[in-house]
Amino acid sequence: MIYLNGEDIIKSITLDECMDAVEDAYRMYDNNEYNMPDRLQVENDDLTSLYMPCFTKASFGTKILTVAPNNAKLNKPVIDGVMLVNDINTGEVVCMMDGKTLTAIRTGAVGGVGVRHTTRKDVKSVGLIGTGVQGFYQIIYTCKARNIESVYLYNRTKEKAISLKKELEKRLKGINIHIAQSSRELVKNSEIIITATTSYKPVIEDDKELLKGKHIIAIGSYKPDMRELPDSLLEIVDTVVIDTDFAKQESGDLCIPIQKGLIKSDEIKNMGAFLKEYNNIDFTEKTTLYKSVGMGLFDMVVANKIYKNSIEKKIGQHIEL
Amino acid sequence: MIYLNGEDIIKSITLDECMDAVEDAYRMYDNNEYNMPDRLQVENDDLTSLYMPCFTKASFGTKILTVAPNNAKLNKPVIDGVMLVNDINTGEVVCMMDGKTLTAIRTGAVGGVGVRHTTRKDVKSVGLIGTGVQGFYQIIYTCKARNIESVYLYNRTKEKAISLKKELEKRLKGINIHIAQSSRELVKNSEIIITATTSYKPVIEDDKELLKGKHIIAIGSYKPDMRELPDSLLEIVDTVVIDTDFAKQESGDLCIPIQKGLIKSDEIKNMGAFLKEYNNIDFTEKTTLYKSVGMGLFDMVVANKIYKNSIEKKIGQHIEL
């Protein structure tokens, strides 16, 4: 068995390979070539443990996450966990990897795939609202998918935006990184706007003129009462693409506008089908929304690619069974 | 994080420590000091994956098993898996260990605790019906709990009994190990009879005279239609002790006799309560039955003891996170 820590994972897969793996997952989703049972969630005092098994034709595994809110006080990650990769034929665990890093890069790559397929090819600017743990890789993957010249960061707690700016500057040479003073300023300056918050009310101003022609990548809201996006976006949007069918029910960014009649459910396209049917669209002057809530199939397909690459590249710690 | 393979596990815990840990688990069960959600079972083609999370006051973890019937052809174990041990406060995975070895020794120790508390102290003989993967440790723990002089083995496929005899002879010096030609011969010669089969019909003859004064340890049947024990045992038995309340519904060895009116449900005692209330009973001339179906709490408490000991004894492979 091989163990891959965060560094090993990063070394094992390129940004493009990771986005390609997410696109593979989308194709499997569209072709129904997966088995992803309901996740098991168990709670005990302040701890929550989540089990997310997934099978594809080529792979089988489980992401296991723990959520420990008290860890924040200890300067430890609130969400921690591991991904187990099993042999699809024998069931044996062949690889275990850090769940935090896997989640961060696959969520970044899911955003990146949205950028690849729902934004104008010549965009030069991206803004990120919410500079928490997912923010770093959202920007990294966006900058890989498009020739970005300017990045704008906004967070209610300004220090967090400043700290992410420093982190990004180490990695992104030749790209200007700015701190925006308001969400409005950020949206005004950015062609792509990524929302990655845990907000329960819109983090973008409800202003059609401001939003016209923008490409929104929303990854925050994953519950029916969580919302990042204002009503007016759904009124003017030309194309809405989601990662999974259940996003329509699970995310307040979709279920509330559908309920209000601002958008019809059947106008919303699934990325798997979208990739097949609508490739190479010119999004000039189009307003687009890509909404992701995530699913275990992304973890499984990306983890399997990481595992296969780690074998080839001889990366990771070997464990004697 | 530490990884413990089968050898590491064996080195980390003594037989008595393992039985003591099972008794700790029984006390926690009786005091309701645990949180053991329903296990998650997922199936895909021929593979089954089982997730068994469990929390105690001191520990938290998950046993994950895979069942791959086709592995038999490949000479690989049909049931494989791992146990994850997490920090009860932060949720971090602190230890991963081989699930096969953990299951084998804790099941042996659960049997051993039955021997400790539901058999005469001066028994000298034990018989094992069903010499599969669980058999080895059933005998090892029985021989630790009592001063056994003679072991009898019976299996429908005689070669399997012969092969277990050889294995046991390497470990048990000064104890006579015999192959019984029939289940009847085995029961006749043994004071303790352990049944560890996957049978759907009784593996012991339905003969009251044969069964009088015997101590039965039954670990095979875990489904309502699986049965190892004959009706007459339940008619003459003086004491019935089970590991968990749900054994009465889950095991055909109990639910069928209860349905037939051979024994009343409230005559069956739970080992947790039994340990508290009925210690040091003289079982001379008494017929007893101890029935176990197993539970995740055993795995958790035993795994936590193994993990703690491995730290003290510096056993296992360290994994850089």
A53 touches A62 (CB < 8 A): yes
Q: Do B60 and A42 touch (CB under 8 A)?
A: no
Strand B150-154 and strand B176-179: the pairing is parallel
Q: Which of A49, A50, A95 to mutate to test the interface with B (most CBs of B within 10 A)?
A: A49
Q: Which of A78, A86, A320 to mutate to test the interface with B (most CBs of B within 10 A)?
A: A86
Q: What is the DSSP letter of B71?
A: G
Residue B320 at interface with chain A, using a CB cutoff of 8 Å: yes
Angle CA(A253)–CA(A259)–CA(A265) in degrees, nearest 5? 75
> Given this model, what pLDDT does residue A278 score?
80
> Given this model, what pLDDT does residue A161 score?
97
Average the pLDDT over A286-290 and give the result: 98
Residue B7 at interface with chain A, using a CB cutoff of 8 Å: no
Q: Say which of A44, A70, A84 has its CB closest to residue B60.
A: A44
Phi, then psi, of A195 in degrees rounded to 5? -110, 125
Inform me whether the pLDDT recorded for A120 exceeds 80: yes
Least confident stretch, A141-155, A269-283, B78-92: A269-283
Inform me whether the pLDDT recorded for A214 exceeds 80: yes
Question: What residue ranges in chain B does DSSP mark as E strands?
Answer: 2-4, 34-35, 40-44, 47-56, 60-67, 79-86, 93-98, 125-129, 150-154, 176-179, 192-195, 215-218, 239-242, 268-270, 288-291, 317-318
Give DSSP secondary structure letters for B212-231: TT-EEEE-S--STT---S-H
- A89 CB neighbours in chain B (<8 A) are 68, 70
> Given this model, what pLDDT does residue B178 score?
98
- How far is the alpha carbon of B315 from chain A, nearest alpha carbon, in Å? 13
> Which is higher by pLDDT, A201 or A133?
A201
Predicted complex ipTM: 0.91
**CA separation for the pair B146, B283 (Å, rounded):** 14
B132 touches B40 (CB < 8 A): no
> Given this model, what pLDDT does residue A133 score?
84
Rg (CA), chain B: 19
Query: Percentage of residues in chain A with pLDDT exceeding 90?
Result: 96
- B74 CB neighbours in chain A (<8 A) are 90
Residue A318 at interface with chain B, using a CB cutoff of 8 Å: no
Q: Which of B85, B40, B35, B91 is nearest to A40 (CA)?
A: B40
The set of residues, in sequence order, having a beta carbon less than 8 Å from that of B7 and lying 6+ positions away, is none
- How far is the alpha carbon of B93 from chain A, nearest alpha carbon, in Å? 7
> Given this model, what pLDDT does residue A188 score?
98
Distance set, CA A18 to CA A11, A102, A105, A305 (Å): 12, 10, 8, 8
Residue A309 at interface with chain B, using a CB cutoff of 8 Å: no
Query: Percentage of residues in chain A with pLDDT exceeding 70?
Result: 100
Q: Say which of B51, B71, B319 has its CB closest to residue A51.
A: B51
Q: Which two tokens stand for residue B309?
A: 């000991």
**CA separation for the pair B60, B92 (Å, rounded):** 10
> Given this model, what pLDDT does residue B280 score?
78
> Given this model, what pLDDT does residue B224 score?
96
Phi, then psi, of B238 in degrees rounded to 5? -90, -35
- A36 CB neighbours in chain B (<8 A) are none
- A84 CB neighbours in chain B (<8 A) are 64, 82
Q: Do B53 and A55 touch (CB under 8 A)?
A: no
**CA separation for the pair A211, A191 (Å, rounded):** 10
- How far is the alpha carbon of A47 from chain B, nearest alpha carbon, in Å? 7
pTM of the model: 0.93
pLDDT bracket for residue A247 (50, 70, 90): very high
Inform me whether the pLDDT recorded for A279 exceeds 80: no
Mean pLDDT of chain A: 96
Which tens digit of pLDDT belongs to each residue from B17-71? 999 999 999 999 999 999 999 999 999 999 999 999 999 999 999 999 999 999 9
Rg (CA), chain A: 19
> Given this model, what pLDDT does residue A132 score?
87
Q: Which two tokens stand for residue B104?
A: 């084998």
**CA separation for the pair A84, A95 (Å, rounded):** 6
**CA separation for the pair A305, B278 (Å, rounded):** 57
Contact residues, A window 74-93, toward B, CB-based 8 Å cutoff: 74, 76, 80-82, 84, 86, 88-93
A101 touches A10 (CB < 8 A): yes
Residue A228 at interface with chain B, using a CB cutoff of 8 Å: no
Q: What is the DSSP letter of B81?
A: E
- B64 CB neighbours in chain A (<8 A) are 62, 84
Q: Do B47 and A37 touch (CB under 8 A)?
A: no
Length, in residues, of chain B:
321
SS3 B14: coil
Q: Do B317 and A319 touch (CB under 8 A)?
A: yes
Contact residues, A window 20-59, toward B, CB-based 8 Å cutoff: 35, 37, 40, 42, 44, 47, 49, 51, 53, 55
> Given this model, what pLDDT does residue B278 score?
81
Average the pLDDT over A145-161 and give the result: 97
Which tens digit of pLDDT belongs to each residue from A218-235? 999 999 999 999 999 999
Instruction: Compare all CA atoms of chain B with the CA of A4 and give the residue at the minimum distance.
Output: B321
Average the pLDDT over A256-273 and give the result: 96
**CA separation for the pair B109, A51 (Å, rounded):** 29
Each residue's pLDDT tens digit in chain B (321 positions)?
999 999 999 999 999 999 999 999 999 999 999 999 999 999 999 999 999 999 999 999 999 999 999 999 999 999 999 999 999 999 999 999 999 999 999 999 999 999 999 999 999 999 999 998 899 999 999 999 999 999 999 999 999 999 999 999 999 999 999 999 999 999 999 999 999 999 999 999 999 999 999 999 999 999 999 999 999 999 999 999 999 999 999 999 999 999 999 999 999 999 999 999 887 789 999 999 999 999 999 999 999 999 999 999 999 999 999
